[in-house]
Amino acid sequence: MDEKQLAKAMQLISFAGDSKSASIRAMKAAEDGDFDQAEEFLKQAHDSLHQAHNIQTAWMSAEMGGEEVEKSLLLIHSQDHFMAADIMMTVAEKQLNLQKEVKALQEKLD
């Protein structure tokens, strides 16, 4: 894998990792009832995932435009990180919504 492709893969892994970490922090904040903080972490997760998506899209566009992209374990690994981050963000959003519903129900019971 050439240096340019290596750099793209590492950037994609980094942004996806940042997104995944922010999603996990969002779920913890939601569990603790700090919904504002959870929303902020979800925003960070979304922003990082968007940057990862931009790298992925540019990479695919370049390949479709004729640029050679070496298929390697690192390329596959970077895509795995991207997909895991995307799924984790979706789970975190659902978790936040559920925690909000639980709190609203608890308030009705009190």
Kindly give the interhelix angle for 35-64 and 3-31, rounded to the nearest 10 degrees: 160
The encoded tokens of residue 38 equal: 């959870």
**Residue 1 vs residues 6, 30, 70: alpha-carbon distances, Å:** 6, 41, 6
Rounded Cα distance between 102 and 100, Å, is: 5
Catalytic residue among 50, 53, 77, 81: 77
Q: Is 50 a residue of the active site?
A: no
Active site residues: 77
